[in-house]
Amino acid sequence: MFTGNRKLLVTLFSITLFLIAACSSPALDDYSDVRFELLNQDGETVIFPDDFEGSPLVMGFIYTHCPDICSFITTNVKKVYQHIDDPGDTRFVLVTFDPERDTPEVLREYARAFEMDREPFHFLTGSTEVIDEFMKRVSVRTQESYSREFDDGNRMYFINHSDKILLIDQRSRLIFDYGGSMTPVDIIIEDLEKL
């Protein structure tokens, strides 16, 4: 009788472990071994992922001279925050892939225009070299297009880019990778609530 119960317990325990493993989302990538020195909209140094460890991250990629699709991505990140019942420690991050124009000051103004110039929103930029490496690491592709020179010497250019929002867990692991402008916010919220 005792042996039978023990066998049953072991079986149930194994099934439980199997179900936990099956129900957990497998990590798509792990950023815990990287270190990128970035700047936030206030010009303060931010280390990714160290400074965010312990908090889930909803991270989008934008450049501020893109009013259509990047505004869409920015708004989607904002909507996740607005619509989730309890954001807890979650941080909502937008990283530019156009550091040449998107200085901390520019990002601060952009954040203000979208009424996101407050916690838990973070807008990040950095040196061109660091941003390039960062974008490679998170698989965001960019390519300059549509360049135009103005009479005053200023140059206007647009960038073809990946359309992405990432969901990164408390242990700096990439859990989900969404089409940034296309994915319904409810899906991101549902996934975020599982973390």
Partner 1 sequence: MNKFIPLLFLAIILTTASCAQEETAGEQEFVLPDDGIEIVDAWARPGRVNGVSAIYMHVLNGSADTDTLLALSSPSAGLVELHETFDRGEGMMGMRESEEPYFPGKSVVSMRPGGLHVMLMQLNEALNEGQEVELNLVFSGAGEISVTAPVRSRD
Nearer to partner 1, 15 or 113 (CB): 113
Assess contact for 38 and 47: CB atoms under 8 A.
yes
**Least distance in Å: CB of 3 to partner 1?**
56
Beta-carbon count within 10 A of 139 CB: 13
Evaluate the CA torsion angle 55, 60, 61, 67 in order and state its sign: negative
Full 3-state SS string of 4-41:
HHHHHHHHHHHHHHHHHHHHCCCCCEECCCCCEEEEEC
Nearest to 140, CA basis, from 158, 122, 163: 163
Asked if 115 touches partner 1 (CB under 8 A), the answer is: yes
CB of 144 to partner 1, least distance (A): 11
Of 28-36, 70-78, 83-91, 128-136, the segment contacting partner 1 by CB under 8 A is 70-78
Under DSSP, the state recorded for 153 is: S
- The answer to the question of residue 33 lying near partner 1 (CB under 8 A) is no
**Residue 2 sits in the site that holds partner 1 (CB under 8 A):** no
Using CB under 8 A as the binding rule, whether residue 41 contacts partner 1 is answered as: no
For residues 61 and 43, the answer to whether their CB atoms sit within 8 Å is no
Report 133-172 residues binding partner 1 (CB under 8 A).
Answer: 141, 143, 145-146, 156, 158, 160-164
Quick one: which of 4, 33, 68, 153 contacts partner 1 (CB under 8 A)? 68
Residue ranges binding partner 1 (CB under 8 A): 64-69, 71-72, 74-75, 78-79, 106, 109-110, 112-115, 141, 143, 145-146, 156, 158, 160-164, 179, 181-182
